[in-house]
Amino acid sequence: MSAEYATFGLAPAMRAGGVLANGDFQVHRDFVDFIVNGRPLLFQLCDLDAVSPLAADIPPAIFTAHVRRLLLEAPAPLRDGRYVIYGCPECEGLECGAVTAVIEKAPDDSDDFIWRDFAWQTAEPADLELNGYHGIGPFRFRGAEYRAALGQLLASEAPQARRRVLLIGPRVALLAKLAAALRTIGIGAEIAADAAGVPPDELRTYGAVAFGRTVTDETRRSVRSAFDRAGVEVAYVDGLAPIVPLLVAQIEYALDRSPQEQRRLTGLAACRDAARLRITSTCRVQLIAYRVDRLSRAHVHEVFDEVLEAGEHRVPLAAKATKGDSYVVARTSTSVLVTPTRPTEAP
């Protein structure tokens, strides 16, 4: 099969971490995704929980080595000229499974690069007949465009540092639990009453600021002013309820720096009896409802977990999951959205 020309680009992406309904933790990973013909390549493969080798939390030397491999300036790590395109977000072991492909220079005299023979690989060698992605590729990328995109990664000082969050509020016990949960999934978190006296260089290490519900307007203004003076753009999160998994989901959404048009999950609204969501590619979607009862006790309900096709969907919700002060979290492997439930469905 001849390789057709395709456009090549890069964009920030994330593997959404979080505290799951069963109490397990899922690690947060920031990475750079491959944009082929205007869409993330990850979305074109299947509903895959994976990250590219260009992750933000690996040492700079290893990050650079991965880039040079993609530029064919270093040997292929696998047999038959195969390179890892996406791998396990928890480790780098091939036994967990990885999407691999042959990367080579075009056979003619051009400077083009070709990605071909995509496969799901768990051991050497790859079995293309059994595990090949037969509907994907081959892709032919123009050399100048390909080199320019990857070259920008080498020109930058270093891959993006791991995210950190500043937690502001008087409820130290709740914030301590939230900070512990965030650190468990790979997000740094510190607790403070305000941002007064924090050096600008330290403020620049934060990607988000989360305010507790009881934080005063004066404190909020003071914190925002401190970040403005430091010239730092951060996402501000207003905590919806004192429920740790819900707050983690809010912070995950705030830390998502991927372009809006390249996200899988782009819309979520909920009322007492249904949730409406919009997704851009076929993927597994989980809906979890959280609520606080009259005694301030938190309750969690797993209400949906299925693979959905691209488009808009309406998912029924049980009344017991959404009564009172309630919220719905929608998750895919790369996106998280959070919304409070309304009494009635919008027309």
Q: Is the dihedral of CA 336, 342, 345, 347 positive or negative?
A: negative
CA–CA separation, 63 and 43 (whole Å): 23
pLDDT at residue 72 greater than cutoff 90: yes
Higher pLDDT among residues 347 and 248, named by residue: 248
Q: Which amino acid is at 113?
A: F
What pLDDT, on a 0 to 100 scale, did the predictor assign at position 58?
A: 86
Query: For residue 159, what are the CA distances in angstroms to 103, 106, 334?
Result: 23, 29, 19
Range of weakest confidence among 72-81, 99-108, 188-197: 188-197
Full-model pTM: 0.88
Q: What is the per-residue pLDDT across 133-188, written as a single tens digit (0 to 9) for each?
A: 988 989 999 999 999 999 999 876 544 555 799 999 888 889 999 999 999 999 99
Contact 89, 27 (CB under 8 A): yes
Find the radius of gyration of the CA atoms of the chain: 22
Mean pLDDT of the chain: 90
Task: List the domains of the chain with CATH numbers.
Answer: 5-155 (no CATH), 162-257 (3.40.50.2300), 260-346 (2.60.40)
Task: Give the model's pLDDT for residue 179.
Answer: 95
pLDDT at 95 over 90: no
Cβ count near 180 (within 10 Å) = 11
pLDDT band with cut points at 50, 70 and 90 for residue 347: very low
